[in-house]
Amino acid sequence: MENDPRALPPPLAESHRLEFDFDDGAGVDFEPYPQFMDAGETTDWWRAWTGNPDADGAGFRVFGQDGTGGLAAFWLVRAGEPLDRQPVVFLGSEGEKAVVAQDLGGYLWLLAAGVGPLEATMYLGADAGDGTDDGDGYAARPDARRVEIAERWAPASRRPAAEIVAAARAEFPGFGELVDSMCR
């Protein structure tokens, strides 16, 4: 598995094997992949998403999507750091773009809190409070099975979902502008 470039890190694979409760749109809208999207597909997607035929998707390792095709990925921005230390981003089908976690540990705790990449992008903005209710009716519901996974794999990363998202956005404030600069 270590030599397979498409294999997910074990904590990610374990958390993604569990079903996500969509709850008719009131839950988590996320469809995890059993492995990373291959490099060719990632480049094709990135070129289509940016409208830039010269864009290279090598900076992303895509591992899932929401129901409309928005993708969640590791953004390979930390030179020399392992995959589990790279930030997690969401690039939506309607142009949404956000860093949602600083690393895999933070991402595991988002999932444990009942927050997927889309929900982190849409509902845990600067004025979303603690992530339990965004004021628009989204209420995160913690997932006990994913809490156990996060406790086992990333106990030091435990924080409320809104803090995870806020820290990620504070560390990478220029992500949206960077993505915009690649678009045509």
Stretch among 8-12, 21-25, 154-158 having the lowest mean pLDDT = 21-25
Residue 119 has pLDDT above 50, yes or no: yes
SS3 175: helix
Taking the C-alpha atoms of residue 114 and residue 153, their distance in angstroms, rounded to an integer, is 17
Percent of the chain exceeding pLDDT 70 equals 89
3-state DSSP assignment of residue 177: helix
3 phi/psi in degrees, rounded to 5? -90, -5
Looking at the chain, how many residues does it have? Answer: 184
pLDDT in tens, 161-179: 999 999 999 999 999 888 8
Rounded to two decimals, the pTM is 0.89
CA dist., res. 125 & res. 106, Å (int):
16
